[in-house]
């Protein structure tokens, strides 16, 4: 099950938000676009951006988040973390993580760290259990 499948299945019952945090592999940081990692990315058909500089302003971060949103086209509203990365730090979100937050604000499900712990099907099961508990 993909995140898109999960969204299409549950968006009428659960509010989905994507939070864009710090760029994981900026060209001026821990870059994956060159050498063997870049070759594997290109070969895999990945849509990962490899030519992005680490945004220095909130406006730049919003611009990159918009490019990401346009590329992956999930239809999920995207919010942008502040430059102090407070959301990323509070939720230990790096590099990628799925969460389910209940109506009372409590965290109901915490997915593993991406990319290997990014499992939309597990989140789907948590959503179904949570909705069943709500009745």
37 has a pLDDT exceeding 60? no
Q: What is the pLDDT of residue 113?
A: 85
Task: Tell me the pTM.
Answer: 0.76
Q: What is the pLDDT of residue 19?
A: 92
Per-residue pLDDT band at 11 (split at 50, 70, 90): very high
93 has a pLDDT exceeding 90? no
| CB 68, CB 78: distance < 8 Å | yes
Q: Which residue has the higher pLDDT, 48 or 64?
A: 64
35 has a pLDDT exceeding 70? no
30 has a pLDDT exceeding 50? yes
Q: What is the pLDDT of residue 28?
A: 58
Per-residue pLDDT band at 109 (split at 50, 70, 90): very high
Q: What are all long-range contacts of 94-102, with beta carbons under 8 Å and residues at least 24 apart?
A: 94/21, 94/22, 94/24, 95/24, 96/24, 98/3, 98/122, 98/123, 100/14, 100/126, 100/127, 100/130, 102/130
Q: Tokens 């989905």 — which residue? A: 16
Interval 112-135: pLDDT, tens: 987 788 899 999 999 999 999 998
124: region left, alpha or beta (phi > 0 left; psi from -120 to 50 alpha):
alpha
């Amino acid at each position: 099950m993909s995140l898109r499948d999960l969204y299409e299945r549950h968006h009428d019952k659960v509010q989905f938000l994507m939070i864009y945090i710090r760029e994981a592999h900026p060209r001026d940081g821990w870059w994956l676009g060159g050498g063997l990692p870049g070759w594997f990315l290109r070969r895999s058909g990945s849509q990962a951006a490899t030519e992005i500089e680490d945004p220095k302003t909130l406006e730049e971060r919003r611009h990159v988040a918009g490019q990401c949103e346009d590329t992956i086209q999930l239809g999920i509203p995207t919010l942008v973390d502040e430059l102090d990365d407070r959301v990323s730090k509070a939720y230990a979100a790096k590099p990628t993580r799925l969460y389910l937050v209940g109506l009372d604000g409590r965290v109901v499900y915490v997915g593993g760290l991406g990319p290997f712990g990014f499992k939309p099907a597990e989140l789907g099961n948590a959503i179904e259990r949570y909705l069943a508990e709500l009745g």
